[in-house]
Amino acid sequence: MIGQEILQEMNDLLDLNLNWDGDFIYEPSGLKGKFFKLFLEAYRNGGFERSANPLFTPDAIKNVFAARMWIGNDPAAPKTKLLNSLLRMWNEWHYALSQIHAKL
């Protein structure tokens, strides 16, 4: 899967789950696992390297979503809230893998 496909899949999953307003920790449908698979795909394909295009840092992802008008300016909008929740996990996953690789 290439970078643009990962972004599109992220957007599609967010759109399909706009009614979810809880915490991902308690999410029963496997949504968190689906996002983690996308994260791993981006990570394995160098999506966090400075030269990556697209770049898969949380800020870069949010900028892409805004530029494509997949999210608006309202931080309370359901999709923006869900994306922000996802990006917090995304950042934690990246930190965890970075720490593991630093110790290997």
* 52, 46 Cβ separation under 8 angstroms: yes
- Helix crossing, 31-44 with 78-103: angle to 10°? 50
Is the pLDDT confidence value at 22 over 80? no
| Number of domains into which the chain is organized | 1
Closest CA to 68 of 20, 2, 12: 12
pTM for this one? 0.88
**Domain range spanning residue 47?**
3-103
Question: If you average pLDDT over residues 75-104, what whole number do you get?
Answer: 88
Using a 10 angstrom Cβ sphere, with 0-12 exposed, 13-18 middle and 19 or more buried, the burial of residue 87 is middle
Is the pLDDT confidence value at 21 over 70? no
